[in-house]
A and B are shown apart, each in its own frame.
Chain A
Amino acid sequence: MRFIVRRLGFFVVTLWVALTVNFFVPRLMPGNPAEAMMARYKGRINPEALKALEVAFGLNTQKPLPVQYVDYLGNTLTGHFGISLTFFPKPVGEVVSQALPWTLGLVGITTIIAFVLGTVIGMIGGWRRNGIVDSVLPPVFVITSALPYFWIGLVLILVFSLGTNGLLPNDGGYDPTLDPGFTAIFIGDVIRHAILPAVSILIVSIGGWILTMRNNVVTTVAEDYIRMARAKGIPNRKIMIGYAGRNAILPNLSGFAMSLGFVVSGSILVEFTFNYPGVGYMLLQAVNNQDYPLMQALFVMITVTVLVAVLISDFLTAWLDPRVRTAD
């Protein structure tokens, strides 16, 4: 119980820090970018939107900063992010919610696949020290983990899309000539479009899981309960999965929470490379169009999503490991 309360507290604090940073960045930058932005927009957009922007960025208001801050927190927590300039006059919240499922689908599923696959490979590698898996894979993945996500994406496009005359698509999330809907053709098309971006993320992110799990298993194998299990004559495979693997996976799971931010960061560039219609691509579009309300809403949205995922993995750890629940 106490653990859950503490993690929820952490969730709230982190969210608050992110929102606060988001509030102060445009206000404290040298040269007041918010004002410069307003000057640019004058005459280009209608007065109503201008007014909404002024409120959002606290310009031309008599309100002191603390009051603006409280207003901003209230607006953000109730989902009022203002109006998007790129997709005028749609509210930002609506625009973001169109992009979010794409990213959740692509990055979420890929991350889970990478975690499961990496953990299994790492477990086998650590269990059979100096075996084939252990001697070949770690060095390979040390190198792949050092590659930029977007560059892997570019190489995959070169080889599997341009090199095969467009066998796999490299642009967008689905074929725009198809009718979106839950039809077999459309879903198949979405999956086809997701393959290359997903493989880019998988190649870079799996290495971390393999190495961590491998090192955890190596440390676990020296434990007395492994020797005990061996003495009892339990089959090797059972010891690997039920004894060594089970204990070694716990630190990996909390590592999962910690590295999610890195994966999401990399995915933004993957989405950009493939013009994938997720939040990362939209964020860069917002930057290019100087659509500041959309930009800030996307940052909040991405942060909240990552925090929720962290919370889930926290609870999963607590459920799997009684020591976490009772520890102070």
Chain B
Amino acid sequence: MSAVTATTTTTAEAAAQGPSRARPGLAVLRAVLGNTKALIGAIMLLIFVVAAAVPRVFTSVSDPNKKFELMLPPGAGHILGTNAFGQDIWAQLVWGTRPSLLIAVVAGALASVLSVIIGVSSAYLTGIGDNLLSLLTDVFLVIPAFPLIIVIAAYAGGGGQTVVVLILVITGWAYGARQLRAQAMSLRNRDFLESARVRGERTAYIIVAEILPNMVSLIAATFLGAALYALLTAAGLQFIGLGNSSTVSWGSMLHWAQTNEALQTGQQWWVIAPGLCIGLLGASFALLNYAFDEISNPALRPVRRRKGRK
């Protein structure tokens, strides 16, 4: 969580540039392509998306639970060997991409929608409404989420995918809301918004057509942060056996590896591979975030580019 969120901390206030007339989608694309780190992140993410959509591209095994010989070392037939159940670790890894990516993206997206709604309304309401929403945001930010998640999951009896997503959304929106509120506050008194008001535009139009386009980069950063949070938290939950352990995902692989003492019995790939995938997917989110950071905070752009412009 911390890397993505940390890079955006300073951007909130510095972020408010004037209204850019370029299409925001295009600016995002240009920023991603023009930034090496972000480009690497995008390519990594693309590979994971392909693995999630068409697992058969990467593995010939059509069922990740198919049994082979037990505990084979990595070799020709099985790139990463097989585990104590006789499952092919590489096949599990590839097939496990879909649920892991899906939960990160879905929970991340829902949490960012909540962040936008609460953050922007908080900036637009004044007085008691803003105070209450800010307080709510801060409270949710400070209460340690994971113990709460554990308690809820324990009562919900493990729970299906829906419960997990719901918990991740409830605990994951606050950081983004805080950042978005700060940026919306600094936009609030800009001239271009004043002119929209003078033109007699409705508030809904102003928020959707004038404010949100100027917040695209921070909203994207919020989404990436929330998705990373969801990915790590869901994996943690599955690792301790509170998620859905019967679906094949990276978190449940780690769970079964740990309960079967994979490290002590020489099946280290069963542990290393899924954790590495979580880390690489998370890193792809964090690297993509570099691009959005630099759109929203020009001070962070590499120095040489600035020289060229002078």
Contact = CB atoms under 8 A, between A and B. Distances in A.
A99 interface: no
B279 interface: yes
A25 interface: yes
Contacts of A261: 141-145
Interface in B144-164: 144-148, 150-152, 154-157
B10 A298 contact: no
Contact of A146 (B254, B285, B303): B285
A29 B2 contact: no
Contacts of A251: 9-10
Contacts of A157: 263
A320 interface: no
B146 A13 contact: no
A268 B233 CA distance: 12
Given A25-B155, A148-B236, A299-B147, A155 B2 contact: no
B176 to A, nearest CB: 12
Nearest to A130: B303
B247 to A, nearest CB: 18
B283 A142 contact: yes
Interface string A137-158: 0010111011111110011011
B142 A257 contact: yes
Q: Is chain A's interface secondary structure helix, strand, loop, or mixed overall?
A: helix
- Which 9 pairs of residues, A with B, have the shortest CB-CB distance? A146-B282, A208-B2, A265-B146, A145-B3, A151-B275, A208-B6, A147-B279, A261-B144, A212-B6
Contacts of B300: 215, 218
B239 A14 contact: no
Contact of B286 (A13, A29, A142, A218): A142
A120 interface: no
A207 B142 contact: no
Interface stretch (B70-78, B115-123, B204-212, B264-272): B264-272
A106 interface: no
Interface stretch (A84-92, A176-184, A185-193, A300-308): A300-308
Contacts of B9: 212, 215-216, 251, 255
A38 interface: no
Given A158-B268, A208-B2, 19 more contacts: A10-B139, A17-B139, A22-B151, A25-B152, A33-B155, A139-B287, A146-B281, A146-B282, A147-B275, A147-B278, A207-B2, A208-B5, A218-B299, A218-B300, A260-B142, A265-B146, A273-B258, A295-B154, A302-B147
A26 B157 CA distance: 11
B14 interface: yes
Which of A162, A215, A269 is packed against the most chain B CB atoms within 10 Å? A215
B263 A283 contact: no
B220 interface: no
Interface of A: 10, 13-14, 17-18, 21-22, 25-26, 29, 33, 129-130, 139, 141-143, 145-151, 154-155, 157-158, 162, 204-205, 207-209, 211-212, 215-216, 218-219, 222, 251, 255, 257-262, 264-266, 268-269, 272-273, 280, 283-284, 287, 290, 292, 295-296, 298-299, 302-303, 306-307, 310
B301 to A, nearest CB: 10
B3 A268 contact: no
A299 B155 contact: no
Contact of B302 (A18, A130, A211): A130
Contacts of B235: 148
Given A146-B285, A222-B299, A268 B275 contact: no
A273 B9 CA distance: 31
Interface in B10-32: 10-11, 14
B118 to A, nearest CB: 15
Contacts of B135: 10, 13
B240 interface: yes
Interface in B209-238: 228, 232-233, 235-236
Interface in B282-304: 282-283, 285-287, 290, 297, 299-300, 302-303
Contacts of B10: 212, 215-216, 219, 251
